[in-house]
Amino acid sequence: MMRNVVKCAMLDARTIRSYLKNMVFMLGLGVVLSLVMKSPTLVMTYMVVILMMVSTYPFAVSESNQMAPLYGSLPMKRWHLVAGRYLYALVMGILATAFSMVMMPLVTRLIVSPDAGDGTPFALLLLGLFLLVCALQYPIFFGLDYTKSKTFGMLPALVVFLGITLLPGLNKTLHLVDTHSLLSGDGAGGLWGLLLGFAAAVLVFYALSAYISFRLYNRRDL
Amino acid sequence: MDNILSVQGLSKHFKGFSLTDVSFSLPKGYIMGFIGPNGAGKTTTIKLMLNMLRRDAGSVSMLGMDSVVRETDIKQRLGVVMDQAFYVGEWRLTDVEKALKPFYTKWSGDTYANLLKRFDLDKAKKVKDLSRGMKMKLMIAAALSHQAELLILDEPTSGLDAVVRDELMDILLDFISDENKGVLFSTHITADLEKIADYITFISGGRVLMSDLKDDLMEKYLDVRGGLGTLNAEQRNALIGYKEHSVGFEGLVEKEKLALLPKDVVVQPCTLDELVIRFNLEGKKHDA
């Protein structure tokens, strides 16, 4: 059963592979932008934006190529496809996070003091936010066809980024997060505890989202 | 006779259309033509068989297994060809194999390569660059490359020229030479059925109007024509797809009911086309 889930994740990767060629340029653009803006963390946030686009590519490509009969003819259950897509998003998130964690120190060395922090906590936070957005979006895409769901699919992402934008203001008022610690990787103030708690909450939410997606997709006529 | 495919009481209701109590069976070693006019429910029936649609009632058994309970086992041995290619347009034919191969335990790369060669398909080409006939052949190559025992084709010849259609029919005849296999293909082109179908199932308005051996059907019904006013009400009711025009009437009659009709009507063997037209008319009368 798990093998079929992995096969479905690989099928998703193959489905979008030819659409990823321009990703190389977009990744390069992210690096250039962070050098120009002298902001090492821009590599990571730019990466998350690209990831959010890429995470819905399998839905878009499968609908535009009318691939429903392929999924209907392959020897797999619907839950394999759903779980495979969540696995695909998770793997994409991890790979992108790893890339940005490699690039960020390089960018940091080019533009600021070599003593700046490694930004690992920030990268992990962004990975968690990406998975959270997927968890919010995917049930919409599994429940409706791509054309209908793309209108509402970005709403969760908008809410999350609005929250991130407002967070410094909220943080200033409520002293929620020690931003310096977050960016420098300093474990003071229970930062790692906070991140672990956030990671656990995201994973639980991710799994719940997968269950909801399966229930919606299982009822759908393809 | 072992049935390779058995559909019993399949039903599905949509707004504006209902598939009602569809039942038919296909024994091993035979080809069934699933025929009906556009919008009759052929594709709906096939999608229900593949669990792409949620059925309201009924059961489907393929290769001796329930299609819901043993879905993955069945699909290992099932080949599906639809009227449109369902692969990513940007995939090359080699990418199609890479995408499908992991799912099938009996995938044969050699068979796939040989079939592409036989069908004159260039591996390096992209799916989107293939003509309609080539896409059909690609889907058949993929369906045959994992040792499928049951082929289900949904309007595979629609939009194809006569040469390609003839090629496709030859491929299916080759496939069915193994008596443990079966083919169900839906079409609205009766010429294809005349060439290769052993069984015919006719569907119209979401209902199966007949399902039997093609030869038995052709023997069972006769084409009847005559002048206006020749038949009384009882005799008209005995005809299937009764239709009047300016100079007379036409319809089908079961051989055993021929004695009911006057001696001066013109009787001749019916063609498959006539069978489909008359049953379609009869189906519309029931719907009205």
CB atoms within 10 A of CB B8: 14
- Segments in chain A forming alpha helices (H): 2-17, 21-36, 41-55, 57-64, 68-73, 78-111, 120-143, 146-153, 155-174, 179-184, 191-219
CB atoms within 10 A of CB B110: 8
Q: How far is residue B13's CA from residue B23's CA, in Å, rounded to a whole number?
A: 16
**Chain A residues touching B72 at Cβ < 8 A:** 4, 75-77
Q: How far is residue B3's CA from residue B27's CA, in Å, rounded to a whole number?
A: 4
Range B15-47 burial, b when 16+ CB lie within 10 A, else e: eeebbbebebbbbbbbbbbbbbbeebbbbbbbb
Residue B131: CB partners within 8 Å, gap ≥ 6?
none
Handedness of CA B84, B88, B90, B91 (dihedral sign): negative
CA distance B4 to chain A (A): 17
Handedness of CA B115, B119, B120, B123 (dihedral sign): negative
To the nearest 10 degrees (0 to 180), the angle between helices A120-143 and A146-153 is 140
DSSP helix/strand/coil, B18? strand
Which tokens sit at B265? 């009507």
Amino acid at B173: L
Tell me which residue in A61, A72, A75 faces B76 most closely, judged by beta carbons.
Answer: A75
Tell me which residue in A14, A69, A222 faces B80 most closely, judged by beta carbons.
Answer: A69
CA distance A19 to chain B (A): 9
Q: How far is residue A168's CA from residue A183's CA, in Å, rounded to a whole number?
A: 13
Q: How far is residue A74's CA from residue B100's CA, in Å, rounded to a whole number?
A: 8
Indicate yes or no: CB of A73 within 8 angstroms of CB of B80.
Answer: yes
Indicate yes or no: CB of A73 within 8 angstroms of CB of B50.
Answer: yes
Contact B171, B183 (CB under 8 A): no
- Please give the residue that has the higher pLDDT: either B91 or A28: B91
pLDDT in tens, chain B (288 residues): 699 999 999 999 999 899 999 999 999 999 999 998 888 999 999 999 999 999 999 999 999 999 999 999 999 999 999 988 899 999 999 999 999 999 999 999 999 999 999 999 999 999 999 998 899 999 999 999 999 999 999 998 888 888 888 888 899 999 999 999 999 999 888 888 888 999 999 998 899 988 999 999 888 999 999 988 888 888 888 888 888 888 898 998 998 988 888 888 899 998 888 888 888 888 777 665
Indicate yes or no: CB of B52 within 8 angstroms of CB of A221.
Answer: yes
Q: Report, as an integer, the average pLDDT of A116-123.
A: 69
CB atoms within 10 A of CB B104: 18
In angstroms, the Cα distances linking A145 to A70, A106, A149, B239 are: 16, 41, 6, 47
